[in-house]
Structure 1
Amino acid sequence: MDNPRALPVTVIVGATSKWQPDGPNTRFVHGRDVGQDLPAERRWGLGGALARRFAREGHHVVLTTRRRANAEALAATIDHDGGSCSVVELDVGSAESVAGAFASIRTQAGDPDVLIYNAGYMAGRELPEDQELLEHFPDELFEEAVATACRGPFLVAKEVLPAMRRRGSGSILFSNNQYSLRGRKRSTGQSLYYPRTMMRALAQALTEEYSEHGVHVANVVVDGFIDSPGTRALPALQERPDLLIDPVGIADAFHYLHRQDRSCWTHELQLTAASGAVSV
Structure 2
Amino acid sequence: MQDKVIILGAGLPEGVGGALARRFAREDLHVFVSGRTLEKVEQTAAQITASGGSAEAIEADVTSEDDLDALFSKAGEREGALAAVIYNAGNNMPIPFADLSPEQFEFYWRVGCYGGFLTAKRAMPILEAQGEGSMLFTGASASLRGKPMFGHFAAAKAALRNLAQSLAREYGPKGVHVAHIIIDGVVNGDRAQTNFGDYLDNLGPDGALDPDAIADAYWTIHAQQRSAWTHELDLRPFSETW
**TM bin (shorter chain):** over 0.9
Higher mean alpha-carbon deviation, 147-156 vs 215-224, is at 147-156
Residue 107 (str. 1) matches residue 77 (str. 2): yes
TM-score, length of structure 2 as denominator length: 0.93
Which residue in the other structure is 2:156 paired with? 195
Which residue in the other structure is 1:67 paired with? 37
Residue 162 (str. 1) matches residue 125 (str. 2): yes
Distance in 1 between residues matched to 2:241 and 2:20, nearest whole Å: 21
Q: How does 1:18-167 map to 2 (within 5 A)?
A: 43-108=13-78, 112-123=82-93, 125=94, 132-133=96-97, 135-167=98-130
Q: Which amino acid aligns with 1:229?
A: D
1:275 to 228, 233, 239: 239
Q: Which amino acid aligns with 1:205?
A: S
Which residue in the other structure is 1:29 paired with? none
Structure 1 residue 109: deviation in Å?
Answer: 5.1
Q: Which amino acid aligns with 1:13?
A: L
1:213 to 174, 179, 185: 174
Distance in 2 between residues matched to 1:257 and 1:189, nearest whole Å: 29
CA deviation digits over 1:49-78, x for unaligned, max 9?
A: 111010011000000111321212111110
User: Which consecutive residues of structure 2, in runs of 5 or more, have no partner in the other structure?
Assistant: none
What RMSD over aligned residues (CA atoms) do the two structures have, in Å?
1.7
2:211 to 244, 247, 255: 247
Q: 4+ runs of 1 displaced by more than 2 Å?
A: 108-112, 188-193
Q: Which amino acid aligns with 2:213?
A: G
CA contact (8 A) 1:225 1:231 kept: yes
Higher relative contact order by CA 8 Å / sep ≥ 6: 1 or 2? 1
Q: Which has the larger radius of gyration?
A: 1
Which residue in the other structure is 2:9 paired with? 14
1:204 to 145, 151, 165: 165
Distance in 1 between residues matched to 2:128 and 2:225, nearest whole Å: 17
Q: Which amino acid aligns with 2:199?
A: A
The alignment covers a number of residue pairs equal to 239
Structure 1 residue 116: deviation in Å?
Answer: 0.6
TM-score, length of structure 1 as denominator length: 0.81
Q: Which amino acid aligns with 1:7?
A: Q
Which residue in the other structure is 1:34 paired with? none
Structure 1 residue 149: deviation in Å?
Answer: 1.5
Structure 1 residue 166: deviation in Å?
Answer: 1.4
CA contact (8 A) 1:223 1:277 kept: no
User: Which consecutive residues of structure 1, in runs of 5 or more, have no partner in the other structure?
Assistant: 1-5, 18-42
Which residue in the other structure is 1:40 paired with? none
Residue 227 (str. 1) matches residue 227 (str. 2): no
Q: Tell me the secondary structure at the aligned position of residue 270 of structure 1.
A: strand
Residues 181 and 153 of structure 1, relative CA distance in 2, 3 Å threshold:
same
Distance in 1 between residues matched to 2:176 and 2:50, nearest whole Å: 32
**Aligned sequence identity (%):** 37
Distance in 2 between residues matched to 1:109 and 1:277, nearest whole Å: 46
Q: Which amino acid aligns with 2:114?
A: R
Which residue in the other structure is 1:39 paired with? none
